[in-house]
Structure 1
């Protein structure tokens, strides 16, 4: 679409598509090897799309074989304590299932 209609039309199309949804999930495969910026080692890498019209955004990134999950929501949408408890329980269940399968 960008090739034929230009970047502005493409950005408008994507924005219109996103504003008709309430949640977005995206993922990005990061570098496998350690990287540095201005000779300073990077310990972790996250990415988050900002100014999107969704109420909830989940982004997943891998960096040096470590999975990073970032969650963004509009203010007051989610109780942070309940969300943290549920997320920790879910990751614990996933980890236990993965360990059992080996």
Structure 2
């Protein structure tokens, strides 16, 4: 893909930000791997509406990064929990870490 050097320079200097982008102009296919990191995403910028089903797996979530205050009531239901994903051993280990 050929990219205009003026556009790249604008991106590097911060001239292009969310106020300059047309909705849908940046797609997942346009982003380099690991180019978007948590430090670059504004709080509440990504909601469930923007996340494709099964796009986030347990291996991609940092330990203790999702807390109960961040979850809406009813979003985790039994049908969304893999068999044996929550066991007494796992809960016990988590409690030891938190104490």
Structures share fold, TM-score greater than 0.5? no
TM-score, scaled relative to structure 2: 0.30
Structure number with greater CO (CA < 8 Å, separation at least 6) is 1
Structure with the larger strand share: 1
TM-score, scaled relative to structure 1: 0.29
